[in-house]
């Protein structure tokens, strides 16, 4: 069938600069650049270009540039180019349209409508270069009160397991198989160096990475891939994955082509078979079933690890979160509509779920109204782009945040949304051995450490500006936020005042 | 009954919180000997420029020995109706031993002075219905303050009392004739609010039961301190950070029964780095306190003097962004924003020092127990 899809990108090659070295040919995993044997010249099949910039950045003579095709349709606010092309694509394929990364639609980004406070006159701002500034956070269930013996000051209360993180930023679930072993290694090393945690995602943990167990969150998802006693016991936190912000309500599908021998061994499935995660966990059809799984995981690990439950932020997130806390979870991870994925139906990624900012506010408020906020830690995920987003999430009520996309961008990702193809030219979201070696775990870890270090320095500056020197004094402290350009209802749900008020 | 918006009275512009700077003074005779208000009035007046005439007040302990077993309620009334309604409520729930107008000196020019009354009360056993009397009293105080238009309980402890108003502290002292009273522990406050509430109830000390708090500073963690306390049923009606401190202390020490030393480590905890250098058991305690009560960390610049029957404590934030000087002379123990004020009333001191940030200085009846590094030796036992 002839495709009616126009090219998306133009590959501009400056003939004066191009030395015909074929680096671009080797770097492109989408089969764009090639040497035309007849003409003996490097050329481009522009129809294949996804705009990932790999060739541009690796061209030794900077001879390449990628531009959007300036092909205009007749103006139409309703039938926009993307909508037309999605229909064309579906008319030609007859299937669900798949995509990768988080939604690219213009859902409101409340981070950009929230502004932070700073001290002036009546209290001094604190300079983090001269004064201590504390970001340490303990994840885990906290009791309502402590009992301390008078006189001896002996602590009589036994606390549930607590996990300290030195920066309030964790690496979000990225499963081995979806991403390569080198990405997992980079994340694990960076988490270890920065005193935080990375999340295995639903594909288990390669035995080579067990030494990073103290900085690992081991996920248990609906496919139960790679879940066995050693796996449960090696991690610091266990996480039951109920849902994901990019695709609430549906499962996952890792195509057999990505299931290499190592991935197969880690996931405990035959090599080359599709790894299908069911939409629900089939032993959790209700809240009491969740309570059973939480308790089973705690029993299996002798009550030494906090158990987290990750849900996609959906309409009833507040009520669901309250149920999760009462079911015995120690941590609730909320993943908003802008959260990313290795592969999801485009229609679901772009239309299902709610923005994370509203979910944090609603869940934190509800748990406080019910007097159980202290029983769980709250981790927010889904579209955290910089340290400003992190600090606003914490002021709204999160204990910490997960970052996924931001971490991948640090490794080289340009958010070209081709994760589902398995052809990632940056070697991130692929199991093609020719591509995965493009991530050097030493350099990858360094880039991630640099990112977290940069963000934590920025967070310290902002905290000091607000006149506080410990992160817990900002957590849930919405008086340090003001809204700009928000409706009364949005302000009410966020629990913040309008700027100027 | 009318639900009153206390916020309108105390915080008319609906600021995040009422912001003010202040002068503080506290003095205590640890042998329990009572003394008049003469010295503390001079001391607080010496720090006149730290306040701006919009708030001053005093707390006195050992004040009503004849009625020591009764809750002493001090009330402000904006109108007659408020008094009728309040007294009905009090009579319904308490055995009223004495009701009288608080004597004042009408020659002192103060503005907006409300009617000032005091009552000595004992909760009726039938009303208590088996509940602890303190909880019952708190509930009634909150009920009067939030439901009766024009009435405000500003003191509710036993054998102690708070006197305060919207004027310079020395004028408040003259107005209430405080030189004529005697107590073994006095605290005083002069206030510099950044807006003009002009409402007498907004002055310090802030009181609930026999706890009093005088406070200088601005709590930058107010938003979360308040939301945390709301989880435990405290309604922060006044929207002042001082109120939050009083409730935090009540929660930690009365309801959760934490020893003072542990409660202080919640309000002004050690840095994680310091905690890691502590011996194992101490480390565990401090880590647990911060982990569990992190939302009650008072962050931002403050000095407080917190007092209750038989005990007075001075505390600054952990990096000491507001001043506090402590001093001892014989059985006398002083806390002040400025050393000069102490020297004015007691030129010869055994010791005067500036406590470390976040380090409490505590004096107790029956001998000072000054909890401060290197200060223990200086504390003189008495009784």
Q: With contact defined as beta carbons under 8 Å apart, do B323 and B336 qualify?
A: no
Residue tagged 């919640």 (tokens): B266
Question: In chain A, where does the domain assigned CATH 3.30.70.20 lie?
Answer: 9-95
- Taken in order B103, B106, B108, B113, the sign of the CA dihedral is positive
Tell me the per-residue pLDDT of B357-376, one tens digit each, with 9 for 90 and over: 999 999 999 865 444 433 33
Question: In chain A, where does the domain assigned CATH 3.20.20.70 lie?
Answer: 167-471
Helix segments in B214-324, DSSP class H: 222-231, 241-249, 260-267, 272-276, 280-293
Would you say domain A167-471 falls under CATH 3.20.20.70? Answer: yes
Question: Could you say which DSSP state residue B18 is in?
Answer: B
Which candidate from A142, A162, A467 shows the least CB-CB separation from B300? A467
More confident site: B239 or A407:
A407
B304 in a structural domain: yes
Test the B interface: residue of A479, A480, A491, A500 with most B CBs within 10 Å: A479
Q: Give Rg (Cα) of chain B.
A: 20
Tell me the per-residue pLDDT of A172-201, one tens digit each, with 9 for 90 and over: 999 999 999 999 999 999 999 999 999 999
- Taken in order B252, B255, B258, B261, the sign of the CA dihedral is positive
d(CA B126, CA B79): 30
Q: Whole-structure pTM over 0.90, yes or no?
A: yes
Residue A458 vs residues A81, A135, A378, A386: alpha-carbon distances, Å: 39, 11, 22, 9
B59: left (phi over 0), alpha (psi -120 to 50) or beta: beta
- Both tokens assigned to B193: 């609010």
Three-state secondary structure call for residue B93: helix
Overall domain count for chain B: 1
Question: Could you say which DSSP state residue A176 is in?
Answer: B
Name the average pLDDT for chain A: 96
B383 in a structural domain: no
* Complex confidence, ipTM: 0.92
Would you say domain A9-95 falls under CATH 3.40.1010.20? Answer: no
Tell me the per-residue pLDDT of B87-100, one tens digit each, with 9 for 90 and over: 999 999 999 999 99
Residue A76, C-beta contacts closer than 8 angstroms, at least 6 positions apart? none
Q: What per-residue confidence (pLDDT) applies to B5?
A: 61
Residue B161, C-beta contacts closer than 8 angstroms, at least 6 positions apart? B59, B60, B63, B64, B72, B74, B118, B155
Three-state secondary structure call for residue A317: helix
Tell me the per-residue pLDDT of A84-120, one tens digit each, with 9 for 90 and over: 999 999 999 999 999 999 999 999 999 999 999 999 9
Residue A402 vs residues A124, A378, A416, A460, B194: alpha-carbon distances, Å: 31, 10, 21, 18, 40
Nearest C-alpha of chain B: how many angstroms from A327? 20
| Segment B55-70 mean pLDDT | 96
Q: With contact defined as beta carbons under 8 Å apart, do B42 and B93 qualify?
A: no
Q: What per-residue confidence (pLDDT) applies to B6?
A: 62
Q: Is A491 on the interface with B (CB under 8 A)?
A: no
Q: Which residues pair with A170 in a beta bridge?
A: A402
d(CA B72, CA B90): 12
Residues of B labelled catalytic = 22
Reply yes or no on whether the pLDDT at A135 is more than 50. yes
- In total, chain B counts a number of residues equal to 383
Q: What angle do CA B292, B298, B302 make, to 5 degrees?
A: 160
Which candidate from A136, A476, A497 shows the least CB-CB separation from B227? A476
Closest CA to A218 of A203, A245, A199: A199
Task: Report strand pairing: A169-171 vs A400-403.
Answer: parallel
- In total, chain A counts a number of residues equal to 501
Question: Could you say which DSSP state residue A304 is in?
Answer: -
Total CB pairs under 8 A between chain A and B:
124
Residue B201's Cα: distance from chain center in Å? 13
Which candidate from B262, B288, B321 shows the least CB-CB separation from A124? B321
Closest CA to A308 of A387, A218, A390: A218
| Segment A422-451 mean pLDDT | 96
User: With an 8 Å Cβ cutoff, are B224 and A371 in contact?
Assistant: no
User: With an 8 Å Cβ cutoff, are B223 and A476 in contact?
Assistant: yes
Q: Which residues pair with A332 in a beta bridge?
A: A309, A378
| Segment B191-220 mean pLDDT | 86
Closest CA to A359 of A398, A416, A331, A326: A398
Test the A interface: residue of B239, B262, B291 with most A CBs within 10 Å: B291
- B241 CB neighbours in chain A (<8 A) are none
User: With an 8 Å Cβ cutoff, are B17 and A479 in contact?
Assistant: yes
B336 in a structural domain: yes
d(CA A228, CA B140): 58
Residue A52's Cα: distance from chain center in Å? 20
Question: Could you say which DSSP state residue A333 is in?
Answer: E
- Taken in order A469, A472, A475, A476, the sign of the CA dihedral is negative
- Both tokens assigned to A134: 């504390």
- B293 CB neighbours in chain A (<8 A) are 146
Q: What angle do CA A372, A377, A383 make, to 5 degrees?
A: 125
d(CA A239, CA A231): 12
Q: Around B382, how many Cα atoms within 13 Å sit in the side-chain half-sphere?
A: 23
| Segment A404-427 mean pLDDT | 96
User: With an 8 Å Cβ cutoff, are B220 and A122 in contact?
Assistant: no
Closest CA to A110 of A332, A362, A322: A362
Nearest C-alpha of chain A: how many angstroms from B135? 18
B1 in a structural domain: no
Q: What per-residue confidence (pLDDT) applies to B116?
A: 97
Name the average pLDDT for chain B: 89
Which strand (E) or helix (H) includes residue A261? helix A261-267
In a 10 Å sphere around its CB, with 0-12 CB exposed, 13-18 middle and 19+ buried, how is residue A345 labelled?
Answer: buried
Q: What are φ and ψ of residue B33, in 5° steps?
A: -70, 135
Chain A residue with minimum CA distance to B292? A142
Maximum CA pair distance of chain B? 62
User: With an 8 Å Cβ cutoff, are B223 and A480 in contact?
Assistant: yes
Q: Where residue A10 falls among pLDDT bands split at 50, 70, 90?
A: very high
d(CA B143, CA B342): 39
Cis peptide before B205 (omega within 30 of 0): yes
Reply yes or no on whether the pLDDT at B142 is more than 90. no
CATH number of the domain encompassing residue B187: 3.60.20.10
Q: Is A125 on the interface with B (CB under 8 A)?
A: no
B100 in a structural domain: yes
**Lowest pLDDT segment from B133-142, B180-189, B287-296:** B133-142
Rounding to the nearest 10 degrees, give the CA dihedral for residues B59, B60, B66, B67: 20
d(CA B102, CA B163): 10
User: With an 8 Å Cβ cutoff, are A146 and B231 in contact?
Assistant: no
Reply yes or no on whether the pLDDT at B20 is more than 80. no
d(CA A227, CA A200): 11
Closest CA to B236 of A479, A442, A106, A85: A479
Nearest C-alpha of chain A: how many angstroms from B5? 18
For chain B positions 184-203, those within 8 Å of chain A (CB to CB) are 194
d(CA A428, CA B21): 56
Tell me the per-residue pLDDT of A291-330, one tens digit each, with 9 for 90 and over: 999 999 999 999 999 999 999 999 999 999 999 999 999 9
Q: What percentage of chain B has pLDDT greater than the value 70?
A: 91
- Both tokens assigned to B113: 């002075």
Q: With contact defined as beta carbons under 8 Å apart, do B56 and B190 qualify?
A: yes
Nearest C-alpha of chain A: how many angstroms from B19? 7
Which strand (E) or helix (H) includes residue A498? strand A497-498
Q: Which residues pair with B191 in a beta bridge?
A: B22
Q: What percentage of chain A has pLDDT greater than the value 70?
A: 100
Three-state secondary structure call for residue B182: strand
Question: Could you say which DSSP state residue B251 is in?
Answer: I
- A479 CB neighbours in chain B (<8 A) are 16-17, 222-223
Closest CA to A168 of A195, A130, A205: A195
Give the structural domain span for B345: 6-378
d(CA A77, CA A93): 26
Q: Give Rg (Cα) of chain A.
A: 24
Q: What angle do CA B356, B357, B362 make, to 5 degrees?
A: 70
d(CA A430, CA B167): 73
Residue A79 vs residues A3, A70, A129, B4, B66: alpha-carbon distances, Å: 19, 17, 54, 56, 87
Q: What are φ and ψ of residue B123, in 5° steps?
A: -60, 135
B283 in a structural domain: yes
Which strand (E) or helix (H) includes residue B43? helix B38-45
Q: Is B274 on the interface with A (CB under 8 A)?
A: no
Q: With contact defined as beta carbons under 8 Å apart, do B104 and B167 qualify?
A: no
Q: Is A374 on the interface with B (CB under 8 A)?
A: yes
Tell me the per-residue pLDDT of A372-400, one tens digit each, with 9 for 90 and over: 999 999 999 999 999 999 999 999 999 99
Residue A340, C-beta contacts closer than 8 angstroms, at least 6 positions apart? A100, A101, A102, A245, A246, A382, A404, A405
User: With an 8 Å Cβ cutoff, are B231 and A374 in contact?
Assistant: yes
């Amino acid at each position: 069938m002839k495709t009616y899809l126009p090219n998306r990108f133009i590959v501009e090659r400056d003939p004066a600069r191009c030395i015909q070295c074929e680096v671009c040919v080797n770097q492109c995993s989408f089969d764009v650049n090639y040497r035309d044997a007849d003409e003996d010249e490097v050329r481009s099949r522009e129809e294949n270009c996804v705009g990932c910039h790999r060739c541009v950045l690796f061209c030794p003579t900077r001879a390449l540039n990628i531009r959007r095709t300036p092909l205009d349709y007749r103006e139409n606010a309703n039938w926009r180019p993307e909508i037309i092309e999605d229909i064309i694509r579906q008319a030609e394929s007859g299937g669900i349209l798949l995509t990768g990364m988080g939604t690219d639609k213009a859902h409101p980004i409340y981070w950009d409508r929230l502004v932070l406070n700073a001290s002036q006159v009546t209290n001094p701002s604190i300079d983090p270069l001269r004064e201590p500034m504390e970001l340490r956070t303990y994840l885990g269930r906290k009791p309502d009160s402590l009992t301390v013996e008078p006189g001896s000051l002996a602590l009589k209360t036994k606390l549930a397991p607590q996990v300290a993180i030195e920066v309030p930023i964790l690496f979000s679930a990225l499963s081995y198989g979806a991403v390569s072993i080198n990405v997992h290694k980079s994340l694990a090393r960076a988490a270890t160096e920065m005193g935080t945690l990375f999340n295995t995602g639903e594909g288990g943990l390669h035995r080579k990475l067990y030494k990073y167990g103290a900085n690992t969150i081991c996920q248990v998802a609906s496919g139960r891939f790679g879940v066995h006693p050693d796996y449960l016991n090696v991690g610091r936190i266990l996480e039951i994955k109920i849902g994901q912000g990019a695709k609430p309500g549906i499962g996952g599908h890792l195509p057999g082509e990505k299931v290499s021998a190592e991935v197969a061994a880690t996931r405990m499935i035959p090599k080359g078979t599709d790894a299908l995660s069911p939409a629900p966990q089939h032993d959790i059809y209700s809240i009491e079933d969740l309570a059973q799984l939480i308790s089973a995981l705690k029993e299996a690990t002798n009550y030494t690890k906090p158990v987290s439950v990750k849900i996609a932020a959906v309409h009833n997130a507040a009520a669901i979160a309250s149920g999760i806390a009462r079911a015995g979870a120690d941590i609730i991870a909320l993943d908003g509509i802008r959260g990313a994925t290795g592969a999801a139906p485009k229609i679901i990624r772009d239309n299902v779920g709610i923005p994370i900012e509203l979910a944090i506010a609603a869940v934190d408020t509800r748990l406080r109204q019910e007097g159980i906020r202290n029983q769980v830690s709250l981790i927010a995920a889904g579209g955290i782009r910089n340290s400003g987003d992190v600090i606003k999430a914490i002021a709204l009520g999160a204990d910490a945040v997960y970052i996924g996309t931001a971490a991948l961008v640090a490794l080289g990702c340009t958010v070209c949304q081709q994760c589902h193809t398995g052809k990632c030219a940056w070697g991130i979201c692929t199991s093609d051995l020719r591509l995965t070696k493009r991530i050097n775990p030493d350099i990858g870890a360094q880039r991630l450490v640099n990112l977290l270090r940069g963000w934590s320095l920025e967070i310290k500056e902002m905290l000091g500006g607000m006149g506080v020197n410990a992160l817990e004094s900002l957590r849930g402290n919405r008086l340090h936020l003001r809204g700009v350009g928000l409706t009364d209802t949005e302000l009410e749900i966020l629990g913040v005042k309008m700027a100027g008020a | 009954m009318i639900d009153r918006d206390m916020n309108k009275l105390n915080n008319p512009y609906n600021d995040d919180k009422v912001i003010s700077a202040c002068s503080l003074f506290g003095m205590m005779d640890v042998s329990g000997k009572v003394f008049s208000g003469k010295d503390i009035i001079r001391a607080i007046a010496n720090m006149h420029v730290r306040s701006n005439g919009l708030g001053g007040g005093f707390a006195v302990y050992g004040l009503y020995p004849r009625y020591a077993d009764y809750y002493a309620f001090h009330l402000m009334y904006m109108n007659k109706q408020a008094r009728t309604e309040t007294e009905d409520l009090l009579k319904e729930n308490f055995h009223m031993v004495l009701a009288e107008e608080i004597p004042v000196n009408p020659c002192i020019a103060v503005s907006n002075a409300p009617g000032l009354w005091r009552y000595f009360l004992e909760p009726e056993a039938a009303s208590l219905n088996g509940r602890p009397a303190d909880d019952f009293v708190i509930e009634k105080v909150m009920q009067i303050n939030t439901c009766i238009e024009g009435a405000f309980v500003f003191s509710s402890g036993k054998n102690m009392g708070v006197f305060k108003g919207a004027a310079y502290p020395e004028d408040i002292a003259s107005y209430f004739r405080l030189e004529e009273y005697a107590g073994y522990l006095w605290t005083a406050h002069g206030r510099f609010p950044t807006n003009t509430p002009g409402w007498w109830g907004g002055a310090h000390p802030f009181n609930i039961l026999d706890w009093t708090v005088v406070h200088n500073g601005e709590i930058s963690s107010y938003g979360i301190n308040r939301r945390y306390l709301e989880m435990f049923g405290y309604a922060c009606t006044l929207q002042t950070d001082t109120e939050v401190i009083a409730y935090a202390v009540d929660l930690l020490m009365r309801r959760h029964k934490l020893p003072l030393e542990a409660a202080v480590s919640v309000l002004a905890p050690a840095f994680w780095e310091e905690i890691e250098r502590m011996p194992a058991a101490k480390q565990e305690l401090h880590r647990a306190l911060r982990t569990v009560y992190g939302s009650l960390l008072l962050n931002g610049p403050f000095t407080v003097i917190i007092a209750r029957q038989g005990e007075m404590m001075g505390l600054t934030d952990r990096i000491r962004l507001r001043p506090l000087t402590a001093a001892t002379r014989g059985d006398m123990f002083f806390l002040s924003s400025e050393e000069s004020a102490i020297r004015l009333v007691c030129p010869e001191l055994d010791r005067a020092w500036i406590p470390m940030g976040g380090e409490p200085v505590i004096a107790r009846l029956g001998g000072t127990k000054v909890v401060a590094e290197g200060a223990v030796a200086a504390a003189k036992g008495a009784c």
